[in-house]
Chain A
């Protein structure tokens, strides 16, 4: 398996534009996580899914953020409209979901909103 695949690796967009980040988890993993990494706040869990169903979205900063998982092999994180303070590295991770297994991370998407 190629691991967790995220696209794009880098995204530069203007304030007010819609941004869509994509993630393909490892095949067979039941859980998918979206994290955001910034200098100020470190690594924060935004939302996670179990079997394509959102379980905990308490970390989503505001209504401008939305995430979907239409099937077991694909998830999106959308920001609409984007703002400069959304600039960060966004990571997707997946796991088998049992408490003693690790979360595998993608390489991240570096988002810059100008």
Chain B
């Protein structure tokens, strides 16, 4: 089965500093990858997705992610973090073995932003 791993449970970044959240996937072919953000007490919102083509994907709120097949990674980045970015971030892969509708989520990375 396809899966994603987020090795960092918590990350603290100073406001204005750059951010990189790690995600590694497990799949032999080209995966369908997503990053979602969950603010406290809220549902999940899609930041960006990758299916094919340009390996650098731009998303909402100034986020981007780069697909690197050689490293089986899809890391999320932001050049300058704002306090409002404090949230939990989930990487997910579409389980194409089960009809393209099943999203499998990583365990999440909680981002804390310090002043």
Residues of A that sit less than 8 Å from B by CB? 4, 31, 33, 42-43, 45, 48, 50, 55-56, 91, 93, 95, 97, 99-100, 102-108
Q: Which of A45, A55, A108 contacts B99 (CB 8 A)?
A: A55
Shortest beta-carbon distance, B52 to chain A, in Å? 9
- Chain A residues lying within 8 Å of B100, measured Cβ to Cβ, are 99
Q: State whether A43 and B90 are in contact (beta carbons under 8 Å apart), knowing that A31-B101, A99-B51 are contacts in the complex.
A: yes
Whether B99 and A105, one on each chain, are in contact in the complex, defined by CB atoms closer than 8 angstroms, is: no
Shortest beta-carbon distance, B48 to chain A, in Å? 10
Whether B101 and A55, one on each chain, are in contact in the complex, defined by CB atoms closer than 8 angstroms, is: yes
Shortest beta-carbon distance, B104 to chain A, in Å? 8
Q: Which of B43, B49, B90, B98 contacts A4 (CB 8 A)?
A: B43
Nearest CB in chain B to that of A3: its residue: B43
The docked-state distance in angstroms from the alpha carbon of A99 to that of B105 is 16
Given A43-B90, A100-B51, A105-B43, 20 more contacts at CB 8 Å? A33-B101, A42-B106, A45-B103, A48-B101, A55-B101, A93-B43, A95-B101, A97-B101, A99-B32, A99-B94, A99-B96, A99-B100, A100-B49, A102-B34, A102-B49, A103-B103, A105-B36, A105-B44, A105-B45, A107-B41
Shortest beta-carbon distance, A50 to chain B, in Å? 7
The docked-state distance in angstroms from the alpha carbon of A33 to that of B44 is 13
Residues of B that sit less than 8 Å from A by CB? 32, 34, 36, 41-46, 49, 51, 90, 94, 96, 98-108
The docked-state distance in angstroms from the alpha carbon of A106 to that of B43 is 5
Whether A56 and B98, one on each chain, are in contact in the complex, defined by CB atoms closer than 8 angstroms, is: yes
Whether A107 and B43, one on each chain, are in contact in the complex, defined by CB atoms closer than 8 angstroms, is: yes
The docked-state distance in angstroms from the alpha carbon of A15 to that of B90 is 31
- Chain A residues lying within 8 Å of B43, measured Cβ to Cβ, are 4, 91, 93, 105-108
- Chain B residues lying within 8 Å of A55, measured Cβ to Cβ, are 99, 101
- Chain A residues lying within 8 Å of B108, measured Cβ to Cβ, are 42-43
The docked-state distance in angstroms from the alpha carbon of A102 to that of B49 is 8
The docked-state distance in angstroms from the alpha carbon of A102 to that of B34 is 9
